[in-house]
Structure formats: structure tokens, C-alpha cells
């Protein structure tokens, strides 16, 4: 892996946590602040079902771009309608953006990144809005060469254009860059599609989908990356 000069990272569930429990805490605050007569579990269930549809639609060739703020606002509006409650979807989406900007790094993130940054350039490329990605990245206190969001590029991973824009900004060839992310579809497929080495960080032990591209490497901790980059460990998927 000696030709790799640059390691590009997904943000959420790769560098920082973003689990359902954090989201349900946000939902609890939304319910309390808006005085909604609904349980957290019911609101989460209906919202999430609509949000999955938003994620599916946004990568279709003829899709009109929607930011996360816009998509989540519409998800709240749809969930409120299904549940028959009067809520403020725009305020709920703002709260979601605010809480996303405060996500905490995984236990090993800072140590791993500081080690990597001694010998490799690092960057962040994330399906995210600037409103939460930029402050969250800044809060890590790390030196990233670039931080690029789907909102800025007006498209979502695995769209090749998003990865190509990052490579252009970094002035690096695909063969010199590695992409690390937690999703086989968005991250592994996206990176593989433009000729980058791909690393799937699989903290949960999920099974590879044989219908999607296989990652070049599979890890369960960011601390494994330096060994892969120096060739000391294989990390083969």
C-alpha cells in the first residue's frame, strides 16, 4: 500500500457515532419541546420508514437533490400526518441538524487519526449537510486537508461525481487514495467505482452483500489502518 498518500473518510458511523439511540434521544426532546402526544418508538418507526424512502429516491438518476434538512423535514411532516398529530416538521429537522453537529468520536478515532496524520493526508467526504458536518469535523480538532459534503456537491454517495470532486480538490490520483466507510453500498461501491482502494469498517460484524462490490479491506477498528497502509497487516475482506 506504499502508493497511498491520502486517506479519505466517511464521517458518521465511521469517525463519529450515530446510532439509533442518539436519534431517539433527539426524538424525545422534539416530543417534549413540541408537546406531542406520541411515543418515541411510534414517531421513530414512522419517521424511519419514510426516511428509508428518502435515501432510496435520492440516488435515482432523475432525482431532484434534497439536502438532509429538506429530506428530514419532509419525513417529519409525513410521520406527523400518519400519526395524526400537529407538529412542526421544520423545527424538528433543525433540532436533528443541531444534534448531528454534536456527535462524539468513537473511542479510537482521535488516536488513530493522529497516528495516520503523521504520514498520510486525511480528508472527510460524507453524505451530510454542511450545517452539521463542518462543526462536527472541526470539533474533532484534527487536521483534515478537505471536508466535503453531499450538500455542497448536490449529490449523494455512491455517485462517482462526489468522489471525483474530492480527488480533484486534493489533486490526487485514485490509485493514491483510500476511502474508509461503514457502508458497503455508499462507501465501498462509490470508492471502487472511481478506482480507489476501499476499506469497510464493520464494527457490527455485518455480512457482506455479494451483490455489491467487495471491499479491498475490512476492519473493525480505525487503529487497524496504519498496519494496512504500511503492509504490516493484510486486512483483506
> What are the CA-CA distances from residue 210 to residues 62, 184, 236 (Å)?
27, 10, 16
For residue 182 the three cell numbers come to: 461503514
- pLDDT of res. 53: 96
The edge-to-edge listing of strands for the beta sheet with 197-201 is 147-149, 121-126, 6-9, 177-181, 197-201, 217-219
Q: For residue 61, count other CB atoms closer than 10 A to its CB.
A: 5
Residue 236: pLDDT band (50, 70, 90) is: low
- 172 pLDDT exceeds 70? yes
Mean pLDDT of 58-62: 91
Mean pLDDT of 60-81: 96
Tell me the chain's radius of gyration from C-alpha atoms: 18
- The tens digit of pLDDT for each residue in 196-213 reads 999 999 999 999 999 999
Cα torsion at 88, 92, 94, 96 (round to 10°)?
-170
**Cα 213 to Cα 201: distance, rounded to the nearest angstrom:** 14
**Cα 219 to Cα 222: distance, rounded to the nearest angstrom:** 7
**Cα 25 to Cα 170: distance, rounded to the nearest angstrom:** 37
- pLDDT of res. 233: 73
- pLDDT of res. 235: 63
- 104 pLDDT exceeds 90? yes
Do 75 and 47 contact (CB within 8 A), yes or no?
Answer: yes
Mean pLDDT of 82-101: 98
Mean pLDDT of 126-141: 98
Mean pLDDT of 20-43: 97
- pLDDT of res. 234: 66
DSSP run (H or E) holding 199: strand 197-201
- 232 pLDDT exceeds 90? no
Amino acid at each position: 500500500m506504499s502508493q497511498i498518500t491520502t486517506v479519505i473518510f466517511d464521517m458518521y458511523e465511521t469517525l463519529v457515532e450515530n446510532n439509533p439511540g442518539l436519534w431517539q434521544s433527539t426524538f424525545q426532546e422534539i416530543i417534549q419541546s413540541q408537546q406531542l402526544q406520541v411515543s418515541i418508538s411510534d414517531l421513530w418507526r414512522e419517521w424511519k420508514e419514510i426516511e428509508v424512502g428518502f435515501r432510496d429516491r435520492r440516488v435515482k438518476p432523475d432525482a431532484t437533490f434534497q439536502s438532509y434538512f429538506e429530506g428530514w423535514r419532509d419525513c417529519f411532516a409525513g410521520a406527523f400526518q400518519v400519526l395524526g398529530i400537529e407538529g412542526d416538521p421544520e423545527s424538528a429537522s433543525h433540532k436533528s441538524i443541531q444534534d448531528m453537529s454534536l456527535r462524539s468520536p468513537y473511542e479510537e478515532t482521535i488516536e488513530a487519526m493522529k497516528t495516520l496524520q503523521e504520514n498520510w493526508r486525511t480528508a472527510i467526504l460524507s453524505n451530510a449537510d454542511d450545517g452539521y458536518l463542518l462543526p462536527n469535523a472541526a470539533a474533532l480538532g484534527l487536521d483534515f486537508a478537505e471536508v466535503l459534503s453531499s450538500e455542497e456537491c448536490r449529490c449523494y454517495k455512491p455517485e462517482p461525481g462526489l468522489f471525483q470532486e474530492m480527488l480533484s480538490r486534493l489533486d490526487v490520483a485514485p490509485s493514491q487514495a483510500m476511502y474508509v466507510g461503514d457502508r458497503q453500498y455508499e462507501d465501498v461501491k462509490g470508492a471502487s467505482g472511481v478506482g480507489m482502494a476501499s476499506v469497510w469498517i464493520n464494527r457490527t460484524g455485518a455480512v457482506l452483500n455479494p451483490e455489491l462490490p467487495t471491499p479491498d479491506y475490512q476492519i473493525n477498528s480505525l487503529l487497524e489502518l496504519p498496519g494496512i497502509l504500511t503492509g504490516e497487516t493484510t486486512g483483506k475482506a
